[in-house]
Chains A and B, each alone.
Chain A
């Protein structure tokens, strides 16, 4: 597609439930990133994929968070046992390996009630 696509755009879930957030990067972009933006904050890095492998997952807050990119294209961010503090906008970006080539999707707004 022309841009980075994220689905769903909004997700409301109950505390303790499992959620999956999907990211479709720009075709041909080998690098894919997940960021999280909490209210009043800037985006915070979660994880970076180069191809199929997670090159840097140092931003994942704890082991409830996991992300995959099995075929080097679409990525899924998975959150287990959601907590109210997980409520945020989750942003995905892909890149043609230049920092100026970073393109963000519109994000998934996750609300844990």
Chain B
């Protein structure tokens, strides 16, 4: 039972444009969500998070939006840069553990 879902395995975006990565979850009890970025042969690194009491959190080029009624969150990257090319994981924090989605591979091309 996949509690956190990322239905797009890959996304290709031109440099300078907006990248939008999507994530859906099933458990309405989740109250904290995070996005991680992963390069090959490295561990995931924390990118940005959002509490369920908010609907938006912004950090530089990265913004996360949360729609609790739809159980949906999205990560916006503007403007996208080639260095953003990586796998992005959405995760929900549940008690003492993170529940990850399957990831979306973002490729930013010049």
> A: which residues have CB within 8 A of B?
4, 33, 35, 40-45, 48, 55-56, 59, 91, 93, 99-100, 102-107
Contacts and interface: CB of A to CB of B under 8 A. Distances in A.
Contacts of A91: 43-44
B96 A56 contact: yes
Contacts, number: 52
Interface string B21-60: 0000000000010100000011111100100000000000
Interface of B: 4, 6, 32, 34, 41-46, 49, 89, 91, 93, 95-103
A36 to B, nearest CB: 11
A99 B49 contact: yes
B48 to A, nearest CB: 9
B101 to A, nearest CB: 5
Contacts of B34: 99-100
Given A91-B43, A99-B34, 5 more contacts: A44-B100, A56-B96, A100-B49, A106-B41, A106-B43
